[in-house]
Structure 1
Amino acid sequence: MSDNKVANASANDTKSANKGKKGKKVPVSPEHIAKVRAEREAARAAKREAMLAQGFDPDCPPELQFIRRPILPLHEGENPMGFKFKLMTYNCLAQTLIRRKLFPTSGDALKWYRRSKVLLNEFKYYNADVICLQEIDFIQFQNFWKDELTKLGYDSQFHRQASKNHGVAIVWKKDYFFMTDKMMIDFDKESSGDIPPRTTTNNAGLILSLKLSDKIKQKYNLKKSGIIVGTTHLFWHPFGTFERTRQCYVVLNKVKEFSRRVNVLQNGNDGDYSHWYSFFCGDFNSQPFDSPYLSMTRKPIEYNKRAKTVIECSTSYTFSKTRDGEEDDAEEEEGGNIEKFGADQPAHPVPQSYEAKDHERELVKQMQSLHNSLDMRAISLYSVAYGRVHPENAGLDNERNEPEISNWAHTWRGLLDYLFFIRHWDYANCVEIDSLESFEKENGLRIRGLLRLPPSKEMTEHGQPHTGEYPSDHLCMLCELELVN
């Protein structure tokens, strides 16, 4: 505000005091002008602080705002000795999958020209060093994301099945890492023992080896080579539990295969797989109490209770032949389920009880044995540590200390996204959640912080995305890690 405007405002403020003093004009002192200016500056600062405290950026237009969440710290007071980096996973909601009927309350928040800016603002704000992305439109990746992420100092790799308009991507800071190898995953073509795919899914995965830059290795005296990181978006179908569980086996098996290849080609085939830290992140379309998640994290796995009921029920579902190209009409992607249940189909994907037929029980036993035969397991970073930083939202609806939600759509809400650390399994009993202390000690890293996830009671009645809230129907997840050799 100019001095003249402040003076005029101050003069107006003193009119009542001067009323009745005919013809006498009292000059406004410089001290009074300074006082009014200071009061207004203080009011603006208070408003700004209030907006920041509520998670909003006061310098950003309202339509490009998003709810800013804090990284909840661990190991406070302990000076970091190793290299710290932030690992993020985010399903960004593919524009090609948006149907207005599925997002009836989202309005203009669905428009790409707006959503793209909000998503980009999120990436800038959280400033992750490695990002695993799902539901990235191929056209937008080529025409928008590639260039914008390059401007922010990232390099990137994208992969999709040719039949899909969207895929997955991995993004990393060029100052910290450089790519030395990559592996594409086509889940429909990957073997899984004697268990074939139940239907064509066209799901894709991507795994990279990201070597630490010489600058980082020298600065922190790191002996490790770098990180192996993968991402995927697993089968979405409500009755796809059995197939998702098979795909989770493929995830672990491909990380094992890729680790061997990297060891041969980059570490002289010395048989020591500890040169690399392995992570796999993404949208697994599975909750912590269902067989896909449990098959990876709770080994040896034994399906029981809800997990057993749901996976057995899923084996009774017959998928449309359109998925395998046996009929002319192509099925919609996951924007809408057009497959009708039919008279012989199960009525609900999560029944209270289910009486499995002999061949269905046998299929599920085969899947259990398949997972137990693989000497690899996954450890969820949120499961291990989230109870330490946000106990009010750890294990609210599950026994694995996972947060309650990562997806908040109009018709469905729950936890679907995970950041996994992948390691060798020696067939010991790993049914219980790893303690934070044992996890960090055994794997040569520390969890320094986790991005806060709101419990459902803090969310709005309407689904996401929504202007001023979140730009996707998923919420990004992030873990700050310290590599300590």
Structure 2
Amino acid sequence: MGHLDVDGRMASSGTFTVLSYNILSEAYASNDLYNYCPSWALSWPYRRQNLLREIVAYRADIICLQEVQSDHFDEFFSPELDKHGYYGLYKRKTNEVYSGNTNTIDGCATFFRRDRFSHVKKYEVEFNKAAQSLTEATIPTTQKKTALNRLVKDNVALIVVLEAKVNNQPFDNNAGKRQLLCVANTHVNVPQDLKDVKLWQVHTLLKGLEKIAASADIPMLVCGDFNSVPGSAPHALLAMGKVDPSHPDLVVDPLNILRPHSKLVHQLPLVIAYSSFARTVGLGYEQHKRRLDGGSNEPLFTNVTRDFIGTLDYIFYTADSLVVESLLELLDEESLRKDTALPSPEWSSDHIALLAEFRCCKNKSRR
């Protein structure tokens, strides 16, 4: 798994890298579900070391991880990545998974290199609270209980505002001006039949990011596992800024939370990081492009199990303030399938890592 154009980058080159990776929490890594993976390779003591080795090797400036259990953040990832110069922030999901043991609840973790960035602000998005507010405000009393049962899911998003350090600017900086960067990290883990809830959560996150954008002219990254394939309504909203009113996903809306459909918009100029390669020509890139979907310009897959192969993970960026310099080369399906699927002894998650290198550009005016 190699880089395209990244390995030779210098800290002074005016670029920074972002990694997004769903690492598969121990609570979900059951032998029943992944019985094609040897039990020793599925064990957490093995996987955590293999994942750490992989993550550290990418040398990313910012790391967005999903499915990080709270005990694993406190006892392993935070202290281990601290040794490599990273500071970590964490947001745990709001409900208890399986056993009722709070340690096994997973969440989102965002790390950044202390020599490149400092932490300015953290926003925590709890979709449960937003669901309760929505139900209180718009759902008739007789339907409130049904609505809460449908809408209340324990997903979260962690939004971190960072400031580039003056002596190590990854940006073309105006003298004396603070250079901020907003990084959103989320895991939208909603059952596939609740298409309305999934779209509503993504819309809620984007509206929150719009408020941050309105208060400061700030480059933004939106990373994570959205559990949404290219062409789905959440993907359309993220990538196009709107959802076609005739989109088939909108048929599922028993509580009318998506109406009017004209409200399903946002003004952030978000672009898919991997789509930039669809416009590139040259040796090496052609092979890379064969691993992209011709219609959406997304990777052909970011999640590979025995029963599913497809793209669920994304890195979006605001194209008025950031440009993609390079990307992590995508894996080909053949090399993954030699072990049936993911996870495997070589790759310790059922997802693959996405990594993009960005350069900050002069901010064009945002509408």
Aligned to 1:452: 329
**CA RMSD for the aligned pairs?**
2.8
**TM-score, length basis structure 2:** 0.82
- The SS at the match of 1:73 is coil
Are 1:82 and 1:483, in contact at CA under 8 Å, matched by a contact in 2?
Answer: no
> Cα 1:300–1:465, aligned 2, differ >3 Å: closer, same or farther?
closer
What is the identity, as a one-letter code, of the residue corresponding to 1:103?
Y
- Tell me if 1:284 matches 2:226: yes
Instruction: Tell me, in whole angstroms, the C-alpha distance in 1 between the residues paired with 2:49 and 2:353.
Output: 16
> Cα 1:139–1:386, aligned 2, differ >3 Å: closer, same or farther?
farther
What is the identity, as a one-letter code, of the residue corresponding to 1:385?
F
Instruction: Tell me, in whole angstroms, the C-alpha distance in 2 between the residues paired with 1:382 and 1:218.
Output: 20
Are 1:70 and 1:451, in contact at CA under 8 Å, matched by a contact in 2?
Answer: yes
Aligned to 2:183: 229
| Offset, 1:235 | 2.6
- Tell me if 1:382 matches 2:274: yes
Number of residue pairs aligned between Structure 1 and Structure 2: 332
Instruction: Tell me, in whole angstroms, the C-alpha distance in 2 between the residues paired with 1:252 and 1:219.
Output: 25
Instruction: Tell me, in whole angstroms, the C-alpha distance in 2 between the residues paired with 1:455 and 1:242.
Output: 33
Range moving further from structure 2, 85-94 or 154-163:
154-163
Aligned to 1:109: 41
Are 1:387 and 1:394, in contact at CA under 8 Å, matched by a contact in 2?
Answer: no
Deviations 1:418-446 (A, max 9, x none): 01114xxxxxxxxxxxxxxxx4xx43x33
Instruction: Tell me, in whole angstroms, the C-alpha distance in 1 between the residues paired with 2:264 and 2:186.
Output: 19
- The SS at the match of 2:343 is coil
What is the identity, as a one-letter code, of the residue corresponding to 2:109?
A
| Offset, 1:280 | 1.1
> Cα 1:150–1:290, aligned 2, differ >3 Å: closer, same or farther?
same
What is the identity, as a one-letter code, of the residue corresponding to 2:72?
Q
Aligned to 1:95: 26
Instruction: Tell me, in whole angstroms, the C-alpha distance in 1 between the residues paired with 2:85 and 2:9.
Output: 29
What is the identity, as a one-letter code, of the residue corresponding to 1:211?
E
- Tell me if 1:127 matches 2:20: no
Are 1:90 and 1:134, in contact at CA under 8 Å, matched by a contact in 2?
Answer: yes
Aligned to 2:115: 175
Aligned counterpart for 2:352 among listed residues 435, 458, 475:
475
1:79-478 to structure 2, matched below 5 A, reads 83-107=14-38, 108-164=40-96, 165-190=105-130, 198-217=150-169, 221-222=173-174, 223=177, 225-260=179-214, 263=215, 273-274=216-217, 276-304=218-246, 308-312=247-251, 314-315=252-253, 366=259, 368-372=261-265, 374-386=266-278, 388=280, 389=285, 390-396=288-294, 399-422=295-318, 439=319, 442-443=320-321, 445-460=322-337, 462-467=340-345, 469-478=346-355
Are 1:72 and 1:451, in contact at CA under 8 Å, matched by a contact in 2?
Answer: yes
What is the identity, as a one-letter code, of the residue corresponding to 1:250?
T
What is the identity, as a one-letter code, of the residue corresponding to 1:216?
N
What is the identity, as a one-letter code, of the residue corresponding to 1:251?
L
Q: Which has the higher contact order (CA 8 A, sep 6+)?
A: 2
Are 2:306 and 2:341, in contact at CA under 8 Å, matched by a contact in 1?
Answer: yes
- The SS at the match of 1:227 is strand
Instruction: Tell me, in whole angstroms, the C-alpha distance in 1 between the residues paired with 2:171 and 2:205.
Output: 33
- The SS at the match of 1:100 is coil
* Runs of 5+ consecutive residues of structure 1 not aligned to the other structure: 1-68, 264-272, 317-359, 423-438
- The SS at the match of 1:459 is helix
- The SS at the match of 2:326 is strand
What is the identity, as a one-letter code, of the residue corresponding to 1:302?
D
Are 1:133 and 1:170, in contact at CA under 8 Å, matched by a contact in 2?
Answer: yes
| Offset, 1:457 | 4.5
Instruction: Tell me, in whole angstroms, the C-alpha distance in 2 between the residues paired with 1:249 and 1:255.
Output: 10
Deviations 1:174-212 (A, max 9, x none): 000010111000012226695877422110111011001
| Offset, 1:459 | 3.0
> Cα 1:219–1:256, aligned 2, differ >3 Å: closer, same or farther?
closer
Are 1:295 and 1:371, in contact at CA under 8 Å, matched by a contact in 2?
Answer: yes
Instruction: Tell me, in whole angstroms, the C-alpha distance in 2 between the residues paired with 1:367 and 1:102.
Output: 40
* Runs of 5+ consecutive residues of structure 2 not aligned to the other structure: 97-104, 140-146, 363-367
| Offset, 1:456 | 3.3
What is the identity, as a one-letter code, of the residue corresponding to 2:30?
R
Instruction: Tell me, in whole angstroms, the C-alpha distance in 2 between the residues paired with 1:248 and 1:138.
Output: 23
| Offset, 1:393 | 2.0
Instruction: Tell me, in whole angstroms, the C-alpha distance in 1 between the residues paired with 2:164 and 2:12.
Output: 16
| Offset, 1:410 | 2.5
Are 1:235 and 1:243, in contact at CA under 8 Å, matched by a contact in 2?
Answer: no
Aligned to 2:143: none
Aligned to 2:144: none
Instruction: Tell me, in whole angstroms, the C-alpha distance in 2 between the residues paired with 1:188 and 1:453.
Output: 35
What is the identity, as a one-letter code, of the residue corresponding to 2:122?
K
Deviations 1:372-422 (A, max 9, x none): 3x43352211123355232212224xx221110000122221100001114
**TM-score, length basis structure 1:** 0.63
Range moving further from structure 2, 159-168 or 114-123:
159-168
Are 1:81 and 1:484, in contact at CA under 8 Å, matched by a contact in 2?
Answer: no
- The SS at the match of 2:306 is coil
